[in-house]
Amino acid sequence: MRSVFSYIIHLWRPFVETLLPRYKTAEVEEMLPAKLKPRTLYIVSEDGFEEQAAMLCPCGCGCTLHMNLLADERPCWHVNRHKDGSASLHPSVWRKKDCRSHFWFRRGRVKWCHDLR
């Protein structure tokens, strides 16, 4: 059962997100660093092909989210880069287990989906 406290945090997340800096985009070759920095979207390339995007889960649970970028594997995400250096992911990111975070990543910002849990 979710506590009242965590429910209030849940309601405030969209507001808190607007106060925080945008996510940085970090391009890395082949390997993710052992420890990911917060508010950073990593894009891992190998031989010039973007393989996966990764980030720490924005809910704060500490787990690393991996998004496949290879078109011949499913599920597959697209990364769009913007002139201001930020990035967007398509489609939304939805963890089906554990914290069940569901959000859109748009221009370096997390837009939470208000699905009922």
Residues that bind Zn ion (CB under 5 A): 57, 59, 61, 99, 101
- Tokens representing residue 23 in the block: 């996510």
> What 3-state DSSP class applies to 10?
helix
Least distance between Zn ion and beta carbon 85 (Å)? 25
Residue indicated by tokens 């991996």: 66
Q: Give the whole-angstrom CA distance, residue 109 versus residue 82.
A: 12
Q: Which amino acid would we find at residue 52?
A: Q
Least distance between Zn ion and beta carbon 56 (Å)? 8
| Bond before 75 cis per omega within 30 degrees | yes
Least distance between Zn ion and beta carbon 29 (Å)? 27
Least distance between Zn ion and beta carbon 97 (Å)? 10
Q: Give the whole-angstrom CA distance, residue 2 versus residue 37.
A: 28
Q: Which is nearer to Zn ion, 59 or 69 (CB)?
A: 59
Residue indicated by tokens 């420890």: 35
